[in-house]
């Protein structure tokens, strides 16, 4: 069994393996940071840690997210950094049987190595994402990581 956190972006369902997920938070207004990639809407402080907030809708569909009262932040550990992905709704935590997960080998998915499988469940398909590969694949992720580390260091030095 694979335990995953299921969330929605646009009309699609995605999942991240639960071992990568730190928490699911209500959306709060992030502090804007200039000169960052357009998918990074800013940073928030979650559990005393500065966390970049990334617009999942912009990353996957190339348009900005629309906030609603169901908008959530799925906070994951990626590359030694807490990263918050904005999702339209964080639905549930479910167990997916191994045999329901199909490996992805379609051409479109080769360009998105962070899609690690598709859960073929009754009534729905869920794309499973590896958040470490996802964050690492984003253009500018190194700059984000560097910036957050610098901000943390300057906070500790004051």
pLDDT tens column, 81-129: 999 999 999 989 999 999 999 877 665 556 777 888 899 998 899 999 9
CATH superfamily of 14-91: CheA-289, Domain 4 (2.40.50.180)
**pTM score, whole prediction:** 0.91
pLDDT of residue 110: 63
What confidence tier does 79 reach under pLDDT thresholds 50, 70, 90? confident
Classify residue 148 by burial, with Cβ atoms within 10 Å: 0-12, 13-18, 19+.
Answer: buried
- Number of alpha carbons in the 13 Å side-chain half-sphere of residue 63: 5
What confidence tier does 39 reach under pLDDT thresholds 50, 70, 90? very high
pLDDT of residue 115: 87
């Amino acid at each position: 069994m694979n335990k995953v956190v299921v969330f929605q972006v646009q009309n699609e369902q995605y999942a991240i393996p639960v071992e990568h997920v730190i928490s699911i938070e209500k959306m709060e207004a992030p502090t804007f940071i200039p000169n960052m990639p357009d998918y990074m809407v800013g940073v928030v402080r979650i559990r005393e840690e500065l966390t970049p907030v990334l617009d999942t809708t912009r990353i996957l569909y190339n348009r900005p997210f629309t906030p609603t009262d169901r908008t959530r932040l799925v906070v994951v550990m990626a590359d030694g950094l807490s990263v918050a992905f904005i999702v339209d709704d964080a639905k549930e935590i479910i167990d997916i049987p191994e045999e329901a997960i199909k490996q992805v080998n379609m051409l479109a998915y080769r360009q998105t190595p962070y899609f690690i499988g598709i859960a073929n469940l009754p009534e729905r398909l869920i794309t499973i994402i590896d958040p470490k590969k996802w964050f690492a694949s984003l253009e500018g992720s190194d700059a984000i990581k560097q910036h957050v580390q610098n901000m943390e260091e300057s906070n500790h030095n004051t």
